[in-house]
Structure formats: structure tokens, C-alpha cells
């Protein structure tokens, strides 16, 4: 009996040591689909920051939506338009719109009668669009992989050392693209001017029909320390939710970063040219920067065959000017205002249009910059290194093309 008790004690001690070792690991991962965003925010590494996101911040009542946005989006019978003006009326009355949305499991709209009553032709909507409608109020998905030390410098100093954060939207299976970014324009280093650059990849979860990449993603996250994943399905119409995660995560972990680049994992960025441009800005401009390839006269596409299809009964009106989602820059100082105003403006299924809406609500106009080529350069110039050396962003490039371009524009033998 004594031997059994001794053995049991040893097992218990060993188990406790393993738990302690595991909990001390830097990597904060979880593949439990039961873990909600409230668990993510209660984690010890977020305890000092929890209040600023989960409760109404002291200055939230100062949020205003510009007359420019109100005038540009008509007040009519389209569902999204009605949702917007309902939220604006509540805001104008001083109601608290910073609601607690931490329960991911209960946020989806399952009342089909509610949607059918408000959208008369909803049966004609594509399946993906119906799914978006059901999740429009879902803003805090469970975290699967989180790494909170990306904005801590090598000397252990805080995020005031980070000049530029690359917030890259990726998908679980795009490892080759992520690696090409790590080896080229997104590599983390201190540039000659002493400015620090960090890169973080934002992922959702794969479909149940896809292979389980969880173990590989966990290994990748542990190896590189730059992977973030939430438990929401990867889809075109969920990119708005992913952009919301960019705002929320950056506010929690890099609140003093100078600039944030939001872009895709298949763009090529000339990082030295980008840093030179950002350094050249006057302080007043740098604090309210929203720059990229600007689409200024866009309207919703009504063709159901288009992946950007927007039904007339959902949204009726023009789009505000916005920077193409392939890659754009926003000031770090705009992170908090954008996040606050996004709590008023309903999610829209096209992420770059939604960012343009939020910026217009803040009276921030997107600035067009010829160095951002979201729709690529002329075909005859795609192999011309001198053309690329003067640009900031080009979309799209394969991993192989990224490496070739990066090596080429930095070659000491290149004369332009």
C-alpha cells in the first residue's frame, strides 16, 4: 500500500511539473473550439489590457460619425442602410453601442423569420452571403493561436520601438507565401535608419472538408513567432472580420506602433521605399494617414456571378472612396478611432470598402499614391527591375517572383 501511495505521489508531482512547464511556454495556443474570446482576453498576458476592449472605454461616448458619411450613404429601404441609420439614431441619443459581444456561440442570427421579414428576396441570395448575414454581429471569434510579444524589441523594450507593423492576411494553407514574405520584404529587422519592422500573419480556420493543418500551424507559429489564428471560417466575405481582428489585436499588443500595413500575402512590397516615404511625412499628415491605390468612384456590383456581388435589397448607394485591400497604410494613431467607429457601422461584406466607410466616418480621406499598384503594372514592365525599384507595392506575385524581385532590386549591379 505504501508503494502505491509513493507511486501515486510521484505521478502527481510529475503531472504538476509538466503543467507548469507547458504553461511557461511563450507560445499561447489552443485548438479547443470551446475556448471563447473571453478566455483569450482573460489570459494573464492580457489582464492589464482587458478593460480597454471588453468594457466601454472612458472616451467612447465621444465617438461621432461625420456628416460626410451620413450624406454619402442614402437612408432607404436596403437592409444594411437601415441597420446603419438605426445605429446612428442610437448613437445620437447617447446609447451605449460598445456592447458585450464576447459570446461567439450565441452571436449568430438563427432566427430565419427575422431575416426573411427584413430582406424580402433573401432566398435568392448566395449561400455565402446568407452565412455572412447570420454572422454580421459576430466580432470576437475564439482564438486558436496567439502570440503577444511581437511588438517587444530584442532589448525587451515596448512597442514604442516599432515603426511599421506588417499585418498580413493569410490562410492556413499558404505557408509558401508566408515564407517568401519572411525571406524578403516582411523580414523583421532594424533598417539603416534605426527603425524596427515587425510582421504578423492573420488567419482564420480551414473548412471541415480541408485537411487538418492545426499541428503544422502550431509548429510554424512556434518556429517563427508571427502567426495568429482565430476560429472563424476563411472566406472572402469574412475578410471584414479579419480586418477587425487586425484592429483589435494591434490595439491590445502594439498600441503605440507608428504605422500599420494591411495587405495580402501575395503582394510584393519594396520595404526600404515604403519606409523612406513614411519618414518623409509631416507629423500632421503622418497622424491621419490612409494611403494606397484609391478607388474613388466605385459602385456595388449587381451581377450575381461576381464574387463581389452585393444585392440591391442589402445595400443601395455608392461606395465611398477607399484604398484597395491588396495593401494600404494607416497611421497607428488611427487604430483606436477606427476600432471605436467600427462598433457603430455594421459589418459590410467587402473589407476594403468597409475600411473606407469607417475612415469616412472619421473624416479621413484616402490618399492616392502612384507607388501602390494594386492592379499590377503594364505587362511589358513586369520583368523590368527599374520599374519595380521605384514602386512601393505590386499585386500579385508568386513566392518565386517575390524572391526574384527582392534580390533583383537590391542587387549592387542594378543600374537604373
Q: What are the backbone angles phi and psi of residue 372, rounded to the nearest 5°? A: -100, 105
Question: Which stretch of 5-14, 176-185, 308-317 has the lowest confidence by average pLDDT?
Answer: 5-14
pLDDT at 100: 55
- What gap in Å lies between CA 210 and CA 50, rounded to an integer? 34
DSSP letter (8 states) at residue 309 = B
* Percentage of residues in the chain having pLDDT higher than 70: 82
Q: How many domains does the chain have?
A: 1
Is pLDDT of 36 > 80? no
Helix-, strand-, coil-residue percentages of the chain, each rounded to 5: 40, 15, 45
When pLDDT is averaged across residues 29-55 and rounded to a whole number, the result is 36
pLDDT exceeds cutoff 60 at 139: yes
pLDDT above 50: residue 19: no
Question: CB under 8 Å to 278, separation ≥6 — which residues?
Answer: 163, 164, 258, 259, 286, 329
- Nearest 5°: phi and psi at 216? -70, -40
Residue 414 lies in a domain: no
Range of the domain at 392: 28-409
Torsional class of 317: left (φ above 0), alpha (ψ -120 to 50), beta (otherwise): left
The grid coordinates of residue 97 equal 453601442
| CB-count exposure of residue 371 (10 Å: 0-12, 13-18, 19+) | middle
CA separation for the pair 153, 195 (Å, rounded): 11
* DSSP codes joined into one string, 82-117: HHHHHHHHHHHTT---------GGG-S---HHHHHH
Q: What is the pLDDT of residue 20?
A: 36
Q: Which helix (H) or strand (E) holds 193?
A: none
Residue 350 lies in a domain: yes
pLDDT at 380: 92
Q: Average pLDDT of 117-130?
A: 96
pLDDT band at 96; cut points 50, 70, 90: confident
Give residues with Cβ within 8 angstroms of 116, minimum separation 6: 122, 123
Q: Which residues contact 65 (CB under 8 A, 6 or more apart)?
A: 88, 91, 341, 344, 345, 361
pLDDT score recorded for residue 151 = 83
Residue 12 lies in a domain: no
Q: Are 342 and 358 in contact (CB under 8 A)?
A: yes
Q: Which of 119-123, 136-140, 258-262 has the lowest mean pLDDT?
A: 136-140
pLDDT at residue 102, rounded to an integer: 56
Is the pLDDT at 302 greater than 90? The verdict is yes
Q: Which residue has the higher pLDDT, 193 or 93?
A: 93
Rounded Cα distance between 285 and 278, Å, is 10
Mean pLDDT taken over the chain? 85
Q: Per the domain annotation, does 127 fall within a domain?
A: yes
Q: Residue 99: which of 91, 79, 36 has the closest Cα?
A: 91
Q: Is 21 a member of any domain?
A: no
**Of the given ranges (147-161, 230-244, 355-369, 386-400), which has the lowest mean pLDDT?**
147-161
User: Measuring CA to CA, which residue among 257, 46, 255 is closest to residue 140?
Assistant: 46
Check pLDDT > 80 for residue 182: yes
Residue 18 lies in a domain: no
Reported as a single tens digit per residue, the pLDDT across 62-85 is 789 999 999 999 999 999 999 999
pLDDT-wise least confident of 120-134, 137-151, 170-184, 262-276: 137-151
Q: Please give the share of the chain, as a percent, with pLDDT higher than 90.
A: 73
What pTM does this model have?
A: 0.85
**pLDDT mean over 45-63:** 46
Instruction: Please tell me the predicted confidence (pLDDT) of residue 44.
Output: 34
CATH of the domain at 233: 3.90.550.50
Chain centroid, CA 35 distance in Å = 21
Gap between the Cα atoms of 248 and 95, Å rounded: 22
Residue 9 is predicted with a pLDDT of 43
Cell representation of residue 369: 499614391
Q: Which residues contact 340 (CB under 8 A, 6 or more apart)?
A: 57, 60, 63, 98
pLDDT at 26: 41
The answer as to whether 19 is a domain residue is no
Contacts of 138 (CB under 8 A, 6+ apart): 101, 104, 107, 108, 232, 241
Residue 358 domain-assigned (yes or no): yes
Residue 265: C-alpha distances to residues 17, 194, 304, 333 (Å): 40, 26, 27, 24
Query: Residue 101: its pLDDT value, please?
Result: 56
The pLDDT tens digits for 241-278 are: 999 999 999 999 999 999 999 999 999 999 999 999 99
Radius of gyration of the chain measured on its C-alpha atoms: 23
Nearest to 305 by CA among 131, 126, 82, 111: 126
> Is pLDDT at 294 greater than 90 in this prediction?
yes
Eight-class DSSP state of 165: E
Amino acid at each position: 500500500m505504501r508503494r502505491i501511495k509513493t507511486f501515486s505521489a510521484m505521478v502527481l508531482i510529475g503531472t504538476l511539473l509538466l503543467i507548469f512547464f507547458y504553461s511557461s511556454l511563450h507560445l499561447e495556443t489552443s485548438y479547443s473550439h470551446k475556448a471563447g474570446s473571453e478566455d483569450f482576453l482573460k489570459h494573464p498576458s492580457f489582464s492589464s489590457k482587458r478593460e480597454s476592449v471588453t468594457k466601454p472605454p472612458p472616451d467612447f461616448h465621444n465617438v461621432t460619425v461625420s456628416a460626410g458619411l451620413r450624406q454619402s450613404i442614402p437612408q432607404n429601404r436596403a437592409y444594411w442602410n437601415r441597420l446603419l441609420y438605426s445605429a446612428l439614431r442610437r448613437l445620437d441619443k447617447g446609447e451605449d453601442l460598445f456592447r458585450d459581444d464576447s459570446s461567439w456561440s450565441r452571436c449568430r442570427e438563427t432566427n430565419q423569420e427575422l431575416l426573411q421579414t427584413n430582406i424580402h428576396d433573401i432566398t435568392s441570395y448566395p449561400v455565402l452571403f446568407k452565412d455572412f448575414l447570420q454572422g454580421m454581429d459576430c466580432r470576437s471569434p475564439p482564438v486558436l493561436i496567439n502570440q503577444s510579444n511581437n511588438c517587444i524589441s530584442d532589448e525587451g523594450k515596448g512597442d514604442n520601438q516599432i515603426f511599421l507593423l506588417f499585418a498580413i492576411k493569410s490562410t492556413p494553407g499558404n505557408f509558401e507565401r508566408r515564407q517568401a514574405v519572411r525571406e524578403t520584404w516582411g523580414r523583421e529587422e532594424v533598417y539603416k535608419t534605426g527603425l524596427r519592422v515587425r510582421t504578423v500573419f492573420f488567419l482564420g480556420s480551414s473548412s471541415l472538408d480541408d485537411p487538418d493543418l492545426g499541428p503544422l500551424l502550431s509548429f510554424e507559429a512556434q518556429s517563427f513567432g508571427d502567426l495568429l489564428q482565430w476560429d472563424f471560417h476563411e472566406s472572402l466575405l469574412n475578410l471584414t472580420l479579419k480586418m477587425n481582428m487586425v484592429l483589435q489585436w494591434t490595439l491590445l499588443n502594439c498600441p503605440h506602433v507608428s504605422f500599420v500595413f494591411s495587405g495580402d500575402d501575395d503582394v510584393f512590397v519594396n520595404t526600404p521605399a515604403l519606409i523612406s516615404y513614411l519618414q518623409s511625412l509631416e507629423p500632421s499628415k503622418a497622424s491621419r494617414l490612409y494611403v494606397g491605390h484609391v478607388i474613388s468612384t466605385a459602385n456595388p456590383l449587381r451581377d450575381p456571378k461576381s464574387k463581389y456581388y452585393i444585392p440591391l435589397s442589402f445595400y443601395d448607394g455608392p461606395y465611398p472612396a477607399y484604398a484597395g485591400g491588396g495593401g494600404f497604410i494607416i497611421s497607428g494613431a488611427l487604430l483606436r478611432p477606427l476600432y471605436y467607429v467600427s462598433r457603430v457601422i455594421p459589418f459590410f461584406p467587402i473589407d476594403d470598402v468597409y475600411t473606407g466607410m469607417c475612415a469616412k466616418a472619421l473624416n479621413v480621406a484616402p490618399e492616392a499614391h502612384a507607388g501602390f499598384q494594386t492592379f499590377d503594372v503594364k505587362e511589358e514592365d513586369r520583368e523590368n527591375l527599374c520599374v519595380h525599384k521605384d514602386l512601393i507595392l505590386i499585386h500579385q506575385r508568386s513566392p518565386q517572383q517575390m524572391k526574384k524581385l527582392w534580390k533583383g532590386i537590391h542587387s549592387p549591379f542594378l543600374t537604373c
